[in-house]
Structure 1
Amino acid sequence: MSAVKGIWKGYERYDFTVNGREALVVTPKEVAPGNPWVWRAEFFDAFSQVDMALLEQGWHLAYCNVSDMYGSPEAIELMRPFQLHVCSEFGLADKPSIFGFSRGGLYTVNYALKYPESVSSLYLDAPVLDLRSWPGGNGRTDQWKKEWEECKRSYQLTEEQFADFRESPLDRAAELAALQIPVILVVGDADEDVPFMDNGHPFAERFAANGGQIEVIVKPGVAHHPHSLDDPTPVAEFIQRVFNGQQETESIGAE
């Protein structure tokens, strides 16, 4: 698992593999206290305004390729050794902020549910939170046939079995809320690919109703793309505030 050193946008980048999966870590020029990091669940370097804002402020940026697995149990188990590796080899904080863009929302929430002690916060951006909606097409959007077939294979479920499937992030919003992992959600209300009313909206309602801490930023008239915000400050500040608060709490608890 020796890393190959390179340069990415003026920052040092290390490429390596973990259990056969391509992975990378980008290091800041000056590391922020606590060695915080951003974990991109999917689509590294796409709409990376928040990633770059935090990198500039001393956060590491990391990614492990588990694409086209739709947050399935196998994908989540592949993600675990990656986190353990980068925390050990790069000295990163035990709890990253995980970024879930589009289908990356599946990985992000499912990983937090499986390993809540290893997550600081979640940033969900136009996220897929109900597989029945996308790619299943049971809602306000059409079925994405290729992706739906991949999804069924990833979960090892038939069409009939998926009809009774209740393990999407939306189904488990109350369970996630009980874990007290803060969430920030950015969405466009004109998203026709991953409709807000089928995914982010009901998730946010259930999450908040069950005591979860969530901030929702709705972009009027914006479709699935572009992701993120022109000014990433609100999201970056949320993530930093959560991490710093957790660091202070842990410090007090250790005294």
Structure 2
Amino acid sequence: MQKTLWKGYIRYDFLVNGIEGLIIVPATPAKGKPWIWRAEFFDAFAQVDMAMLEKGWYLAYYKVSDMYGCPASIRFMRSFQNYVEQQFSLAERTVLFGFSRGALYSFNYAAEYSDKVAGLYLDAPSLDIRSWPGGFGKAVRADKEWQECLAHYGLTEETVKDFKGNPLDKIDQVAKALIPIIIVYGDADTAAIYSENAEILINSYRERGGLINVIVKPEGEHHPHSLEDPTPVVDFLIEKACR
């Protein structure tokens, strides 16, 4: 394990299952050692991450990049959570940050291990691999990412049509676990199409009585992610994910 200084905070880098992981330690840990877990794009559009860190939350990242939330990546993620809980005495439940494709990882993990997740922050989320990277709807297909995705899931162009392993197929599991969700999206996003992703989750989650808060960025595109003022997301997570 390597200890360094990162933006004034202590940072630990290590391997779990041969995959890179890291923990950033807050200056003064909050009671119970709560932590947030950035599923993808560490330190990108990190307004909420940094605000939570300043409030005493640990910040984690585990590099299961370009695995698109496939079953193998979810098993790796579970090993990571077990490791950091033991090594750093962190809270038994985490708040996952799913930005763009990171929402595939975050939601699939929450569905599989709902007892280990305290909340979800999904930003411009991709929630159906056929929408992105597949381009079966209004989005343009991302060819390289689509081939990677099919390979990781063991799917083909034909079998993916009947695929039932997307986050949008697992809403029941997350809603039954009463996991609070906050979604931020731009209504001009042409990559993570709202009607094919976030809208379906929002409507279905509310129908099931789940708590889901939504922040819309008028004329917002896929980038930049997050909010200039992270306060609404931070307040929601601290209030709802610390129950």
TM range (shorter): over 0.9
Which residue number in structure 1 is paired with residue 24 of structure 2?
Answer: 26
Aligned with 2:111: secondary structure?
helix
- In the alignment, structure 1 segments of 5+ residues that lack a partner are 247-255
Q: 1:145 to 1:200 in 2, by over 3 A?
A: same
Residue 171 of structure 1 deviates from its aligned partner by 2.1
CA distance in 2 between counterparts of 1:212 and 1:10 reads 38
Counterpart of 1:22, as a letter, is E
Residues 104-119 of structure 1 aligned to structure 2 (within 5 Å): 104-119=102-117
Residue 16 of structure 1 deviates from its aligned partner by 0.5
Residue 174 of structure 1 deviates from its aligned partner by 3.0
Is 1:130 aligned with 2:136?
no
Deviations 1:76-124 (A, max 9, x none): 0011111001000001100110000000000000001111110000000
Aligned with 1:221: secondary structure?
coil
Counterpart of 1:88, as a letter, is Q
Residue 142 of structure 1 deviates from its aligned partner by 1.4
Aligned with 1:54: secondary structure?
helix
Counterpart of 1:180, as a letter, is L
Which residue number in structure 1 is paired with residue 73 of structure 2?
Answer: 75
Residue 193 of structure 1 deviates from its aligned partner by 1.0
Residue range with higher mean Cα deviation, 14-23 or 174-183: 174-183
Aligned with 1:6: secondary structure?
strand
Residue 146 of structure 1 deviates from its aligned partner by 0.7
Which residue number in structure 2 is paired with residue 249 of structure 1?
Answer: none
Counterpart of 1:80, as a letter, is R
CA distance in 2 between counterparts of 1:140 and 1:157 reads 21
- In the alignment, structure 2 segments of 5+ residues that lack a partner are none
Deviations 1:128-180 (A, max 9, x none): 00111001111111111111100000001111110101221112223321221
Which residue number in structure 2 is paired with residue 90 of structure 1?
Answer: 88
Query: 217, 220, 233: which one pairs with 1:219?
Result: 217
CA distance in 1 between counterparts of 2:102 and 2:194 reads 15
Is 1:40 aligned with 2:38?
yes
Moved over 4 A (4+): none
Q: Percent identity?
A: 53
Residue 197 of structure 1 deviates from its aligned partner by 1.4
Is 1:12 aligned with 2:10?
yes
Is 1:50 aligned with 2:48?
yes
Residues 195-210 of structure 1 aligned to structure 2 (within 5 Å): 195-210=193-208
TM-score for the superposition, normalised by structure 2: 0.98
- Figure out how many residues of one structure are paired with residues of the other and give that number: 243
Aligned with 2:13: secondary structure?
strand
Q: What is the alpha-carbon root mean square deviation over aligned residues?
A: 0.8
Counterpart of 1:154, as a letter, is H
Is the 2:114–2:173 Cα contact (8 Å) retained in structure 1? no
Q: 1:175 to 1:243 in 2, by over 3 A?
A: closer
Which residue number in structure 2 is paired with residue 250 of structure 1?
Answer: none
Aligned with 1:105: secondary structure?
helix
Deviations 1:47-82 (A, max 9, x none): 000000010010000001000100000000011111
Which residue number in structure 1 is paired with residue 146 of structure 2?
Answer: 148
CA distance in 1 between counterparts of 2:46 and 2:155 reads 34
